[in-house]
Homo-oligomer: A and B are copies of this chain.
Amino acid sequence: MSKTTAGRFFEDYRIGQIITHAVPRTVSGGERALYHALYPARTALYSSDEFARDCGLAQSPVDDLIGFHIVFGKTVPDVSLNAIANLGYAEGRFLQPVYPGDSLRSHSEVIGLKQNSNGKSGVVWVRTRGENQHGATVLDYVRWVMVRKRNPDAPAPDPVVPELNAVVAPQDLIVPAGLDFTRYDFALAGEPHRWGDYEIGERIDHVDGVTVQEAEHMLATRLWQNTSKVHFDTTQRADGKLLVYGGHVISMARALSFNGLANAQMIAAINAGSHANPCFAGDTIRAWSEVLDRAETTAPGVGALRLRLVATKGAAGVLKDEGGKYHPDVLLDLDYWVLMPV
């Protein structure tokens, strides 16, 4: 028997199947420092223990997206090693901050399967949960990917397409226990704009750009133990290019959005996300945001803002063409909820 694995193919998934993802991971100040080296991340709550304590937390957690990337990375060998495309995200919720010292593991449940009409591939929906060492869920989300069939003649499963919420409802947002923005220091955070200052429909161009370097996206992707070959092995594509991990674009855009959204401290939910076009080294990533909705929370001084975060590789102001197709310069279209001081 071969000792190595080529990953699962479409016909290897069953509805209701639970997949335990391997390689639990303990995070430390090392992951935090690398995150700051890889992205221009400046939200104060994730930068300073003192600032986090003044917001009611025990210490500064690691960036929410560190938790996301680690949980996601573990799923790659089981879910997307033979994926043709990462199609979308839904119902992502951040339930608990991740602190240095926490150990994360994750598992996924197959909740949808639909073979493509070409018979060569199909779409797999999984709900993934990341847990800490206490067994508490730190985040969960649904992702769907297009996966190759090993054998094109394998029979198609009965199609099951899960009904997913287009948006995480405000009342389902979880505010971390203790979070309190009533003593929030706007000067230290970097901007004076409160939750109440943002209008639905308002659009913010985040000004700055970062040119992606090959070594940087590889370091980032490897850090999350993501094993997808296309990010590391130049012999995988005819053009010899490495595809940049979509999560690298998410983190870069989120960090760039500091300029204009410095007080959008914590990510509470990911409603939807599309990796609209591939990103390669040499692309200069820019970002803009649009305010989609606002909601109150029961936590002291904490409001929720629903944002569209768009990453582009040019100055693309146009998101989609008339036919609804993304502009070729759009890299990412992310719909998410953040927590801000009111």
Contacts and interface: CB of A to CB of B under 8 A. Distances in A.
Contact of A3 (B60, B220, B260): B260
A4 B261 CA distance: 8
A193 B330 CA distance: 44
Contacts of A48: 23-26, 103, 105
Contacts of A213: 214-215, 218
Contact of A30 (B33, B190, B220): B33
B29 A227 contact: no
Interface string A217-245: 01110110101010011110000001000
**Top 6 closest A-B pairs, CB basis?**
A30-B33, A28-B29, A22-B190, A24-B48, A215-B215, A3-B260
B34 A37 contact: yes
Interface residues of A, number: 77
Contacts of A77: 190
Q: Within the oligomer, what is the number of copies of this chain?
A: 3
Of A23, A33, A42, A220, which is in contact with the most chain B CB atoms at under 10 Å from its CB? A23
A284 B20 CA distance: 31
Interface of A: 2-6, 20, 22-26, 28-34, 36-40, 42-44, 47-51, 60, 77, 100-101, 103, 105, 133, 187-191, 193, 197-198, 202, 204-211, 213-216, 218-220, 222-223, 225, 227, 229, 232-235, 242, 259-262, 284
19 contacts: A4-B204, A6-B207, A22-B42, A22-B187, A23-B42, A31-B33, A33-B34, A37-B219, A39-B222, A40-B232, A42-B227, A48-B105, A49-B101, A49-B103, A105-B188, A209-B235, A211-B232, A219-B219, A235-B284
